Amino acid sequence: MRPNALMLSVLLAAPAGAQSVAEDPYLWLEGVEDAKALDWVRGENAKTQAELTGTAEFAALRDDLRAIMDSNARIPGVTKMGDYYYNFWRDKANPAGLWRRTTLAEYRKAEPAWDVLIDLDALNKAENANWVWHGADCLKPAYDRCLIALSRGGADADETREFDLAGKRWLKDGFFRPEAKGALGWKSRDEVYVYTDFGAGSMTESGYPRIAKLWRRGTPLASAKTVYEGRADDMYIAAMRDDTTGFERDFVSRTLAFYNDELYLIGADGGLAKVDAPNSAQKSVHKRHLLLELREAWTVAGKTYPAGALIAADFDAFMQGQRAFRVLFEPSASTSLAGYSWTKDFLLLNVLDDVKNRISVLDPAKDWAARPLAGAPGFGTLSVSAVDDEESNDYFLTVTDYLTPTALMLGAVDAKPETLKQLPAFFDASQHQISQNFAVSKDGTRVPYFMVSRKGMALNGDNPTLLYGYGGFEISLTPSYSASVGRAWLSQGGVYVVANIRGGGEYGPRWHQAALKANRNKAYEDFAAVAEDLIARKVTQPKRLGMQGGSNGGLLMGNMTVMYPQLFGAVVCQVPLLDMKRYHKLLAGASWMAEYGNPDTDDWNFLKAYSPYQNVRADGNYPPVLFTTSTRDDRVHPGHARKMMARMAEQGHDVRYYENIEGGHGGAANNEQAAFMQALAYTFLKQKLFPED
């Protein structure tokens, strides 16, 4: 049970604070669905469509990308519940998607027979809505009742409905949570934990739930009993049940900020007992084990455990005051913990070594003895997860890299895994190769980056190159197969580069913490160092070098545009943060202050240097930029991109803009929209970076 994984999947709204029009003449564009603002959006969209979408090449690329996304040859990822394997699937015939299930015997087949449980397109038609699937939580052991989360247009906010799996019907009098940020989760057949918008004062300043309650079936939501009430300046409060057979426990999670949380065990009397580990540690309870992923060095019981380590203790003994730990992983200069997964009897440990995966099997019954995972491939990005952590030692292993179509394997500990599914080759990669290189940043730090290029590529400085980056929130960028990149960029003769800059998690917490707050410049210096290395090696030159990033990567794009314009020939800036003076007042922005800082304090002294919106100048010589965002993004406010576009256009720079009216933080609510948005970006990049015919 890793309660924070749930929060980290969505924590990435509060009303806007006061600021004068003189300080910011484009404040009016922060009105997400304000008529005047949307008229401006439609006008800019029309200009961009006229510029980029009117050719046969655009239409062909859009259609090819849509065909890839809709292809029935894609791997249907599954989750095992009881005897069945569940999957959510979208294709051309089902753009909103189908929730369905099958057996393992069927799943092994090239074309499994699926039992469709929910047809989201039919639901949308019946309700005249645009529901986007957000997941299902089904109740053990029968798995006959499920809590289904549905988002309107792809926003983070969603509603939860109860579904009768046996009857394939929505329960008219079942549990229902109205649309808001939050969730429902089972405690028992007739009880759920609910954390949501209960009315005035019930949400945090970040726009997430502040109160968790226990709600009994047949009673109004208003009568639900409070389990925990956080503070307004907390980030996210949740309650959940660990339903592991024989180890059933209930918890409250209080998230104060990213990588800053508290975990409480709920007693039989409703009282709370804190899991007294550092707030910065990620806490995980499984059966009798407590695992702590340390993000800072921790001295306890006379011993110091380093940042980046994974340590284990007996959970019940820990709660009684004992502090005896076993070190399961300790980082080195080149290694970090990528993740772990429990099977019935073992812990599968996934480690990154210079951004390459290595998987080990740890046996807690034998004093955590470790051995390599039998039959694991020696190449590519490896991701491992248990099929069922209570019933077997089987696992799913996903294997991928930039050029090898992703494969899904099924294995058992100590037995060689078998390939169940593999993507077809959506583009011809036979003439391409992958290399890992290292650039040297301004302070001497070695920064790794991956490059995908044609074999025998001429180092003449004239190769159109796309550099991608993120650099935040301890998120690692590892090689993965992207048919879209292959079709739209590599097959056209482009070079694709991914930079593993500081702020990410490629080398664990130290890599992330090196670029926090006042040190944010390290991420930008790293990205610039990679660009400079590509130019110095004569892979490319500035007029052939483009860059792309979204969300925190959009902030990266904004700062690289403003701070290092001489290095780039084109920029795709997607769902970005750009106004760091006001980011904490817009939607979920307050939840990121641990990452960036608080502009209402002395933090503004360093933040103002990394706020693209405040630093863009009329006399700047910036590369052409395409800004894209989504009206329905309730995580990163579309006002960031709107205002930056308006300011740069008013200053006379080469900019264009497209805002998807739906789509959430991912920028698209279905495959049709995703294909259009991707085709828009690649068409722009090709126009700006490729030599004219």
Tens digit of pLDDT for each residue in 189-215? 999 999 999 999 999 999 999 999 999
Q: Are residues 575 and 526 in the same domain?
A: yes
437's enclosing H/E stretch is strand 432-440
In this predicted structure, what is the pLDDT of residue 597? 96
The answer to whether position 258 is within a domain reads no
Mean of pLDDT values over 258-262: 93
Residue 400 has pLDDT above 70, yes or no: yes
Q: In the numeric block, which tokens belong to residue 67?
A: 């065909």
Which residues, in sequence order, are bridge partners of residue 411? Answer: 395
Domain that holds residue 298: 278-330
Q: Are residues 414 and 445 in the same domain?
A: no
In this predicted structure, what is the pLDDT of residue 587? 83
Q: Are residues 547 and 577 in the same domain?
A: yes
In this predicted structure, what is the pLDDT of residue 667? 57
Asked which of 402, 423, 444 is the last residue of a domain, the reply is 423
The answer to whether position 243 is within a domain reads no
The tens digit of pLDDT for each residue in 607-662 reads 999 999 999 999 999 999 999 999 987 788 999 999 999 999 999 999 999 999 86
Mean of pLDDT values over 433-452: 98
Mean of pLDDT values over 518-547: 98
In this predicted structure, what is the pLDDT of residue 663? 57
286 is catalytic: no
The answer to whether position 18 is within a domain reads no
- How far apart CA 357 and CA 341 sit, in angstroms, is 14
The answer to whether position 219 is within a domain reads no
Q: Are residues 596 and 669 in the same domain?
A: yes
Could you tell me the pLDDT band of residue 692, with boundaries at 50, 70 and 90? confident
Residue 506 has pLDDT above 70, yes or no: yes
Residue 14 has pLDDT above 80, yes or no: no
Catalytic residue chosen out of the listed positions 134, 512, 653, 665:
665
Asked which of 361, 391, 423 is the last residue of a domain, the reply is 423
Q: Are residues 321 and 413 in the same domain?
A: no
The mean pLDDT value of the chain amounts to: 94
Catalytic residue chosen out of the listed positions 253, 360, 476, 551:
551
The total number of structural domains that make up the chain: 3
Q: Are residues 459 and 370 in the same domain?
A: no
Q: List, in order, residues 6 or more apart from 641 with CB less than 8 Å away.
A: 554, 573, 575, 576, 578, 627, 628, 629, 657, 659
Mean of pLDDT values over 147-174: 95
User: How far from 88 is each of 76, 83, 347, CA to CA, in Å?
Assistant: 8, 17, 27
The tens digit of pLDDT for each residue in 27-65 reads 999 999 999 999 999 999 999 999 999 999 999 999 999
In this predicted structure, what is the pLDDT of residue 635? 81
Asked which of 423, 443, 464 is the last residue of a domain, the reply is 423
Q: Are residues 443 and 393 in the same domain?
A: no
In this predicted structure, what is the pLDDT of residue 662? 65
In this predicted structure, what is the pLDDT of residue 188? 98
Residue 665 has pLDDT above 60, yes or no: no
The answer to whether position 70 is within a domain reads no
The answer to whether position 392 is within a domain reads yes
Mean of pLDDT values over 680-690: 98
Q: Determine which of 64-73, 297-306, 433-442, 648-657 has the lowest per-residue pLDDT on average.
A: 64-73
Residue 670 has pLDDT above 60, yes or no: yes
Q: In the numeric block, which tokens belong to residue 652?
A: 């006379």
Q: Are residues 488 and 610 in the same domain?
A: yes
640 is catalytic: no
The answer to whether position 544 is within a domain reads yes
Residue 664 has pLDDT above 80, yes or no: no
Mean of pLDDT values over 154-175: 96
Q: Are residues 313 and 353 in the same domain?
A: no
CATH number, domain with residue 537:
3.40.50.1820
Mean of pLDDT values over 552-572: 98
- How far apart CA 99 and CA 87 sit, in angstroms, is 6
Q: Are residues 499 and 363 in the same domain?
A: no
Q: In the numeric block, which tokens belong to residue 669?
A: 């609510």
Q: Are residues 348 and 465 in the same domain?
A: no
The answer to whether position 165 is within a domain reads no
More reliable by pLDDT, 392 or 663: 392
In this predicted structure, what is the pLDDT of residue 154? 86
From its phi and psi, is residue 509 left (phi > 0), alpha (psi between -120 and 50) or beta? alpha
Q: Are residues 313 and 400 in the same domain?
A: no
Using a pLDDT cut of 70, give the percent of the chain over it: 96
Which residues, in sequence order, are bridge partners of residue 309? Answer: none
Torsion of CA 318, 319, 321, 323, to 10 degrees: 20
Can you spell out the DSSP letters for 148-206? EEEEETT-S-EEEEEEETTTTEE-TTS-EEEEES-EEEEEETTEEEEES--STT-B-TT
In this predicted structure, what is the pLDDT of residue 634? 77
